[in-house]
Amino acid sequence: MSVKAKYSLVFQPYEAELNYIKSIKYKLAEQIGWFSSKDVLAHISIAEFEANDTELDSVVAYLTDFVLSENRQYLYFDQYASFPTLGTWFIKPTVPSKLYMQEICKSLWKDMPIPLTHLPAELHLTIARKLSQEQLQIAKNLLKQIDFDFLCDQLVLRKFDPQLRQYQPYAAFKFQGLPKVRITSDEQGQINLF
């Protein structure tokens, strides 16, 4: 049996948006110095899991099928917030964006072929982690307004690199927006599309 590696599933923006979030992180770093997640690419965590090669194959097959009927949508983020006890500074999605992501997550989690080790309590895009209360206050004073969006049209599977101590992009699964097919037993025995 092969060794298990750690993976995470995320919503991840594209290069222009990644660079914009990077600029916010650098602006904060100029005031407080290095912080946890400073060099991590912007993302919204969906789930984490461990898998060997065989299990990963089943996850990839599942995700390939899952994205066929998913529709793309812009995600909007309009305010900064924090988890004070964790020292986390992040941006929050608008309510419609949050609901859109929650629906995808619920559907995704329901039939995942392997157990998930971590699910987010609240969907968000982290700017900084493990800040002191003083650093959180600096972030609050420095970063007051945000108007950020990106087209959410894929799931990104990331693999943990133990040497870098970070997750690295492994594969992307593009939303296809095809109608869901459900076989029903109507009188003619036809396949109905939903």
Say which CATH number the domain at 160 has. 3.90.1140.10
Q: What tokens does 55 get?
A: 């299990």
The residue-averaged pLDDT of 187-192 equals 50
For the cut 90, the answer to whether the pLDDT of residue 180 exceeds it is no
Is beta strand 73-83 parallel, antiparallel or unpaired with respect to 44-51?
unpaired
The whole domain housing 54 covers 5-193
Q: Higher pLDDT residue, 131 or 2? A: 131
pLDDT digits (tens, 9 = 90+) for 92-143: 999 999 999 999 999 999 999 999 999 998 999 999 999 999 999 999 999 9
The residue-averaged pLDDT of 46-56 equals 96
Q: How far apart are alpha carbons 55 and 113 in whole angstroms?
A: 8
- Secondary structure in 3-state letters for the chain: CCCCEEEEEEECCCHHHHHHHHHHHHHHHHHHCCCECCCCCCCEEEEEEEECHHHHHHHHHHHHHHHHHCCCEEEEEEEEEEECCCCEEEEEECHHHHHHHHHHHHHHHHCCCCCCCECCCCCCEEEEECCCHHHHHHHHHHCCCCCEEEEECEEEEEEEECCCCEEEEEEEEECCCCCCEEECCCCCCCEEEC
pLDDT digits (tens, 9 = 90+) for 53-91: 999 999 999 999 999 999 999 999 999 999 999 999 999
User: What's CA 162's distance to the chain center, in Å?
Assistant: 20
Q: How many domains does the chain have?
A: 1
What pLDDT sits at residue 25? 97
Q: How far apart are alpha carbons 168 and 158 in whole angstroms?
A: 5
